[in-house]
A and B are shown apart, each in its own frame.
Chain A
Amino acid sequence: MTSASAASAGSAAALANGPDPELLWRLYRLMLYVRLVEEKIVALYPEQQMRCPVHLSIGQEAPAAGVAAALRPGDQAMSGHRSHGHYLAMDADLDGMFAEIYGKAPGCARGRGGSMHLIDRAKGFLGAVPIVGSTIPIAAGAAFTSKLRGDGKVTVIYLGDGAAETGVFHETLNFAALKKLPLLFVCENNLYSVYSPMEVRQPLGRPIAGIARAHGVATWEGDGNDAVAVWQMASEAVEACRAGHGPAFLELATYRWREHCGPNFDNDIGYRTVEEYETWRARDPLARHKALLQDRLGADDAAFAALEGELQARIDAAVAKAKAAAFPVDTLSPEDCYA
């Protein structure tokens, strides 16, 4: 159940069985939804009404979609600073997200958090915060509750390659393995921590998943730009978690297209090459999945246009609502810190 062989065998099996059309469309819908929401942020950010940092996941939508599609209602997820996709794929409240980014009263964190503090507990999204690595043990705590109560829930913790360098990452792997927690680590390895490449941060030749294996945690490694492969790996991993086999770990290779923080491209500032970017751009998870839908299901342009129109309308409505919403009344006091 470890490493690349299991991953490729898994996705091969899924493809051999022919993942059902509904699932294939669901994966596409989730990825397109995340892409369109973030492209909307790109379009509107220059208006300077979204007055908080934004960390876009354009180009790396497949992990959020594939993992969310492997979960069932009641399951939970947490994330870090680049969390829009993880939140949206859990079907969390879009109106609440845009209102939060606009700093408005109906925001999912009442305007106190912004883009980096998304939460929708009704949909199992327990929260995202920007301190890298910090939600890893908190998610383990949520899984610990499930373990103590035997409620059958699986908790997903999304993290990046940088989080694998934090102390709590290692500490949490140890604890999760010790207690056989129903916790799925999903590591989106997009090669950069802000502008620092992997080779200045982690030893060559040691996959991040190798750290999890050293703790006795079952791992899967694979293509993070292939939604079907992600779904297959996540499905196996979630099943193992739910069966009580303990935590599972996915390392997914992917790439963010835009700058670390903000709506722009930053290939010109010299920390990565245009060639590298173009290589990953050619592996666009959406374009690949669209081709799959065309090839396998004969999906036509009208079907894609209809879906995009539907999602775009939903997004436009959420933006309009957020823009029209009131700002929170500025009556904060020390009492707001305490329940």
Chain B
Amino acid sequence: MPDDAHRSAAVSTRRMTFAQGLLEAQAIALEQDPSVYLMGLGAPDPKGIFGTTSGLLQRFGPERVQDMPLSENAMTGVAVGSAITGMRPILTHQRVDFALVAMEQMVNQAAKWFFMFGGQVPVPLTIRMIVGRGWGQGPQHSQSLQAWFAHVPGLKVVMPATPADAKGLLLSAIEDDNPVICLEHRWLYGLADEVPEGPYRVPLGKARLMHGGGGKAEVTLVGLSYMSLEALRAAEILAEQGIEAEVIDLRSVRPLDEATILDSVARTGRLVVADTAHVRFGAGAEVVSLVVEQAFDKLKAAPVRIGLPDFPTPTSKALSDSYYPRAPHLVAAALKLLGRPVDPELFAVPEGRNLDQPDSSFTGPF
């Protein structure tokens, strides 16, 4: 059965966007714990990190909702230093790409502090970063580097794909006593759905079976972040062709929910993994390795990875439209695994649909 247990009947929900879900998680964290503070370039500015920090300055004051100098590495160190002395900082970057100068602090210090000092000193730190896409974001505003972070023991990495998970995973990240990287896909920000009220939490390291699970499914589609939505769309297209798919939204890259993946593949025998990042050396490879190493006998065909090609994101729409895989790519992969023909019409772009936007409401510029 689809894992909708988190939408328990006892908790009332409201419809809100992914961005509002993130905002609500931070507001709750700031409200319930005086040691929480939020810091980021533009966090208190009129645009409020695409609405995810709007109003927090007015509500919690300038000490708890801070702008910061354009010094990502030092400010990550400052966040680490305050985290080891009793604070619980949330650091936010408007793009993953901008935070790369802070890899030293994230990898050498935040990730290792608890381990390297003998388990004496936790680092309760959340680092939010946005994965850009479309409207010409280009080579340095659209990288999806979850594999880098997930490779480092000591970090946790989450990638919510729904408004409810945006709220629930971010609140769990803030409350966790370890450094957690929260990677937020820009194309999800406008997505609206039901979100539980109150201090709603989604456990870190727990994937979600989004679709299927009735026992007749012939293929498992594992998605990450925005690609989980493409996987859902792919499942719908497959259903039209009489093929049932299970869709798993990973939600966390580290810890990886191995059981949910292995259970599904045990039922279906076929696996397609769709990542928002480059295919090579990516999170998708980790999922495939897991299945090949631990459930080889369950596989009816070789698993398939879907993701970005092995070159940086081009800016021009003419170049980037083909850069990003879509639901049809997952469908085609599933059909091939099942030995079914692939109709090239599958990839046709509907009239009026622009591939550099999640929908017509998204007009950039950023």
Q: What residues of chain A have their CB less than 8 Å away from a CB belonging to chain B?
A: 76, 107-113, 117, 119, 121, 126-127, 129, 131, 134-146, 148-149, 167-168, 171-172, 174-175, 178, 334, 336-339
Whether A121 contacts B119 by the Cβ 8 Å rule is no
In the bound complex, residues from chain A placing their C-beta under 8 Å from that of B104 are 131, 134
**What are 30 contact pairs spanning A and B, CB under 8 A?**
A108-B117, A113-B116, A127-B117, A127-B121, A131-B104, A134-B77, A134-B104, A134-B105, A136-B77, A137-B76, A137-B80, A137-B81, A137-B105, A139-B81, A140-B77, A141-B79, A144-B78, A145-B87, A146-B85, A148-B37, A148-B87, A167-B74, A171-B73, A172-B77, A172-B78, A174-B71, A337-B111, A338-B178, A339-B122, A339-B178
Compute how far the CA of A148 lies from the CA of B88 in the bound complex, rounded to whole angstroms. Answer: 12
Tier of interface size on chain B: 35 or more
Task: Known pairs A110-B117, A337-B114; list 11 more (Cβ under 8 Å).
Answer: A110-B119, A134-B109, A135-B77, A141-B78, A141-B83, A142-B84, A144-B81, A145-B85, A145-B86, A171-B75, A338-B177
Contacting residues, chain B, for A121 (C-beta < 8 A): 120-121
Interface centre among B68, B75, B78, B80 (most CB of A within 10 A): B78
Residues of chain B contacted by A175 (CB below 8 angstroms): 68-69, 71, 74-75, 78
Partner among B113, B115, B121, B124 whose Cβ is within 8 Å of the Cβ of A336: B115
Q: Is B297 an interface residue (CB 8 A)?
A: no
Asked if B153 is an interface residue, CB under 8 A from chain A, the answer is: yes
Chain B stretch 293-343: residues in CB contact (< 8 A) with chain A: none
Q: B83: nearest residue on chain A (CB-CB)? A: A141
Q: Any chain A CB within 8 A of the CB of B12? A: no
Docked-complex contact A107 and B118, CB < 8 angstroms: yes
> Do A137 and B78 touch (CB < 8 A)?
yes
Is B75 a contact partner of A142 (Cβ separation < 8 A)?
no
| Residue B136 lies at the interface, judged by CB distance under 8 Å to chain A | no
Complex Cα–Cα for A127 and B37 (A): 23
Q: Which residue of A lies closest to B89 (CB)?
A: A141
Task: Please determine whether B74 and A142 come into contact, CB atoms closer than 8 angstroms.
Answer: no
Interface residues of B (CB under 8 A from A): 37, 63, 68-69, 71, 73-87, 101, 104-105, 108-109, 111-124, 153-154, 156, 177-178
* Cα-based distance from A180 to B271 in the complex (angstroms): 55
Assuming the A-B contacts A110-B119, A334-B153, A338-B154, are A168 and B85 also in contact, with contact meaning beta carbons closer than 8 angstroms in the complex? no
Given the complex of chains A and B, what is the CA–CA distance between A145 and B37 in angstroms?
11
Chain B residue at minimal CB-CB distance from A127: B117
Chain B residues within an 8 Å CB radius of A134: 77, 104-105, 108-109
A338 touching B114, Cβ below 8 Å: yes
**When the two chains form their complex, are residues B81 and A138 in contact, meaning their CB atoms are under 8 A apart?**
yes
Report how far A138 CA is from B108 CA in the complex, Å: 12
CB closest residue in chain B, given A128: B117
Question: How far does the alpha carbon of A168 sit from the alpha carbon of B101 in the complex, in Å?
Answer: 10
- A contact residues around B116 at 8 Å (CB): 109, 112-113, 117, 129
A108 to B119: give the CA distance in the assembly, Å.
11
Q: How far is the CB of A246 from chain B (nearest CB, A)?
A: 15
Q: Is the CB of B118 within 8 A of A142?
A: no
How far apart are the CA atoms of A76 and B84 in the complex, in Å? 12
A107 to B116, CA, bound (A): 11
Known contacts A134-B104, A171-B74, A175-B71: A148-B154 contact under CB 8 Å: no
Which residues on the A side are within 8 Å of B115 (C-beta)? 112, 336-337
Closest chain-B Cβ to A202's Cβ sits at a distance in Å of: 20
CB-based nearest A residue for B152: A337
How many angstroms from the CA of A193 to the CA of B292 in the assembled complex? 49
Contact B108 A339 (CB under 8 A): no
Which chain B residues lie closer than 8 Å to A138 at the CB level? 77-78, 80-81, 84, 105, 109
A174 vs B78: C-alpha distance when bound (angstroms): 12
Indicate whether A142 sits within 8 Å of B82 (C-beta atoms), given known contacts A112-B116, A113-B116, A168-B73.
Answer: yes
- Contact with A129, one of B108, B123, B153 (Cβ below 8 angstroms): B108
Partner of B74, one of A76, A143, A168, A338: A168
Q: Are A141 and B82 in contact (CB under 8 A)?
A: yes
Nearest chain A residue, comparing its CB with the CB of B119: A336
Q: Which residues of A contact B76 (CB under 8 A)?
A: 137
Q: How far is the CA of A149 from the CA of B86 in the complex (A)?
A: 10
Q: Which residues of A contact B108 (CB under 8 A)?
A: 129, 131, 134
**Interface contact A140-B69, CB-CB below 8 Å:** no
B109 lies within 8 A of A129 (CB): yes
Q: Is the CB of B77 within 8 A of A119?
A: no
**With the chains together, A139 CA to B79 CA distance in Å?**
10
- Contacts of A142 on B, CB cut-off 8 Å? 81-82, 84-85
Q: Which residues of B contact A178 (CB under 8 A)?
A: 69
Residues in B with CB closer than 8 Å to A107 are 118
Which of B108, B114, B115 neighbours the largest number of chain A CB atoms within 10 Å of its CB? B115
Q: How far is the CB of B149 from chain A (nearest CB, A)?
A: 13
Contacts of A339 in B (CB 8 A): 114, 119, 122-124, 177-178
Contact assessment for A171 and B71 in the assembled complex, using a CB-CB cutoff below 8 Å? yes
Question: Chain B residues near A135 (CB, 8 Å)?
Answer: 77
Min CB gap A14→B, angstroms: 32
Q: In the complex, A339→B121 CA distance in Å?
A: 8
Contact (Cβ within 8 A) B109 A337: no
Q: How far is the CB of B123 from the nearest CB of chain A, in Å?
A: 8
Chain A residues with CB below 8 A from B73, complex form: 137, 167-168, 171
Interchain CA distance A172-B76 in the complex, whole Å: 11
Q: Which of B74, B85, B118, B178 contacts A109 (CB 8 A)?
A: B118
| A109 contacts B117, C-beta separation under 8 Å | yes
CA distance A146 to B122 in the complex (A): 18
B178, closest chain A residue (CB): A338
Q: Which of the listed residues B101, B105, B116 has the most CB atoms from chain A within 10 Å of its own CB? A: B116
Q: Bound complex: CA of A299 vs CA of B87, how far in Å?
A: 48
A111 CB, min distance to chain B CBs, angstroms: 8
A110 to B109, CA, bound (A): 17
Docked Cα-Cα span, A87 to B301, in Å, equals 59
User: Which residue of B is nearest A147, CB measured?
Assistant: B63
B121 touching A171, Cβ below 8 Å: no
Contact A137 B74 (CB under 8 A): yes
**Chain A: minimal CB distance from B158 (Å):** 14
Question: With the chains together, A111 CA to B116 CA distance in Å?
Answer: 9
Chain B residues with CB under 8 Å of A129's CB are 108-109, 116
Chain B residue at minimum C-beta to C-beta distance from A130: B108
